[in-house]
Structure 1
């Protein structure tokens, strides 16, 4: 990966729907070489996809919480089972495995507190190998989905 690839990635992070022609102009390449580089970045899975960024409040998702998870034991099978269960809960929009205690951090979005409580009681507590859940409510999002610093 060279400086032009990094410029391409930076531009695509800022504006994913940019045309390859405009992208090439911004990074100093003609159409064909720019297209080849974008394709190579996609094939190498440096670019994992393209998506729209949706404002949660505009679609009725007005509640956000961070849930810290401590597992009973951090053994191979328990980690595999726990992580396999997470994608089945669509309200989990981000999940991170952490060093130390707690073991995981989950970012959750729901319509409201009552919906979060139901999700917590019926799904989060039922996740495999959970020893303890600790929640904190998000007051305000200050930085969301910032592009990577390339």
Structure 2
């Protein structure tokens, strides 16, 4: 279901994506409404599932997780049960930041954050290689993040 947003909803969402901790009074001032309509609009956006939550965004670099590797994963079995087993297992690995099922020459693309190459090698050997139904992997080390951002409407 696609959600239709008016200009005020877009302004509210733009401000919230910049700072989810903004007080409602300040948000109302920025979008040109009073507090009650802004609070009602936010509640509506949450209820329809457009706003799915609020969270602190941690700096991987400050946590020492400076090494990013993308791993192509090819599967031995792509029937639904096998894919569901893989999906459940990959979600249990905290070093996996993102995982996408891919239509193409391989089955999944996995983004792994680690401290360094030795740490990645350990994660690959101990965790990723043991995932169910994997036939092979290919790894690509990121040299530099050119664009790294969260989703916004702008």
TM-score, length-normalised on structure 1? 0.92
Structure 2: how far apart are the matches of 1:45 and 1:85?
26
Structure 1: how far apart are the matches of 2:114 and 2:122?
10
CA shift at 1:34, angstroms?
0.4
CA shift at 1:3, angstroms?
2.3
Give 3-state SS (helix, strand or coil) of 1:145's partner: coil
Moved over 4 A (4+): none
Partner in structure 2 of residue 106 of structure 1: 110
Q: How does 1:108-123 map to 2 (within 5 A)?
A: 108-123=112-127
Structure 2: how far apart are the matches of 1:135 and 1:82?
18
Conserved? CA contact 1:92–1:106, under 8 Å: yes
Aligned residue among 38, 44, 58 for 2:42: 38
Structure 1: how far apart are the matches of 2:75 and 2:34?
52
Conserved? CA contact 1:14–1:147, under 8 Å: no
Q: How many residues align?
A: 150
Structure 2: how far apart are the matches of 1:142 and 1:4?
32
Partner in structure 1 of residue 56 of structure 2: 52
Aligned residue among 11, 14, 21 for 2:18: 14
Give 3-state SS (helix, strand or coil) of 1:93's partner: strand
Structure 1: how far apart are the matches of 2:31 and 2:105?
44
Give 3-state SS (helix, strand or coil) of 1:56's partner: coil
Structure 2: how far apart are the matches of 1:105 and 1:3?
36
Q: Which runs of 5+ in 1 are unaligned?
A: none
Partner in structure 2 of residue 130 of structure 1: 134
Structure 2: how far apart are the matches of 1:81 and 1:107?
19
Deviation per residue, 1:31-85 (Å, 9 max, x gap): 0010011111112221111122222121111211111111113211111111111
Moved more, 132-141 or 95-104: 95-104
